[in-house]
Homo-oligomer: A and B are copies of this chain.
Amino acid sequence: MSSGIRSWFIDWYYPSQVGCIYGVKHYISSFKTKYQQIDLVELPFFGKALFIDGKLQSSLYDEYIYHETLVHPAMLLHGNPSKVLILGGGEGATLREVLRYDCVKHVVMVDIDGDFIEYSKRNLVEWHRGSFDDPRVELVIADGRKYIEESKDAFDVIIADLVDPLEGGPAVYLYTLEFYRLIYDRLSDNGVFVTQSGSLYFQEDVLRTIYKTLTQVFPAVEVYHTFVPAFFSEWSFTIASKSGRRASEMKAEYIDEMLAKHRINGLKAYDGVTHSRIFVLTKDFRERLARHSRIATDNEPIYIPLG
């Protein structure tokens, strides 16, 4: 083919039925950890991109959209977070966004896959930009569920930057009622929790269940979403506050003032106006979300079937 491309990743939403196809310019490195297959490749259009177990995690072209959208609403909803916990997020880009806040004095990052973290430190510098070296960072190699169960700390913001709850995968029990109760307990009084919650439309049952489950635990829960090009999907996040304060109530001007107050410059996707878009839900999704009743428990977790 004249494009010179001869190999492809296919990231299926439904195996062999619906998916996205990515031509590969060339491989940069491949690595198998105890937990997962890591492939760093150069894609056309998206540039350098990370696949884990063949699923695209993030590309240099648009990782800012995902990571800014995950981190900043939660940080601003708290207003003045000092202690932050990140579950997952091995590329270090969620960490990078959290460290923009001078008020943050201590970040604990918990990831199960120490080999991947080591790989990330060396190979994903364009993602973490040295964040692992910040003295405020404490890295813990552990299962996130277990860490939460055993920790006695209180955090102002907890960010779950986890892989999807794939059938039989390591993340299934980080999306259950029992887990969210533990999260609630680990938050300080006006603490905020945010989790990535997957794709609208394509895996919406998962997202609606995460939302519904969180409403059993927190007084205020909201879904927000934005388009992430490399995922070819509208990606969702679910945010919950212990105080009952709602992120959607923060006006565009307030967001911009808060970002200025915290001296957060250089964001590319997120600002007050963006905030006012992403917290508004379209009619169809709003109605499906309102009708949803399923909740996920350790006994009956929600997961994405392998097909």
Contact = CB atoms under 8 A, between A and B. Distances in A.
Contact of A226 (B6, B16, B53, B282): B282
A8 B5 contact: no
Nearest to A277: B280
Interface string A19-32: 11111101111101
Nearest to A274: B282
A239 B49 CA distance: 35
A282 B88 CA distance: 26
A35 interface: no
A147 interface: no
A51 to B, nearest CB: 7
Which one of A10, A39, A282 has the highest number of Cβ atoms from chain B below 10 Å of its Cβ? A282
Interface stretch (A118-126, A155-163, A265-273): A265-273
Interface of A: 1-24, 26-30, 32, 37, 39, 43-46, 51, 53-55, 62, 64-65, 200-202, 226-227, 229, 232-234, 267-271, 273-274, 276-278, 280-284, 286, 306-307
9 contacts: A1-B15, A4-B54, A7-B7, A14-B44, A14-B45, A16-B23, A20-B232, A29-B30, A268-B283
Given A6-B51, A14-B44, 20 more contacts: A1-B16, A5-B16, A5-B54, A6-B9, A6-B10, A6-B53, A17-B22, A17-B23, A17-B44, A18-B22, A18-B45, A26-B32, A26-B37, A27-B39, A28-B30, A201-B227, A227-B234, A232-B232, A274-B283, A277-B277
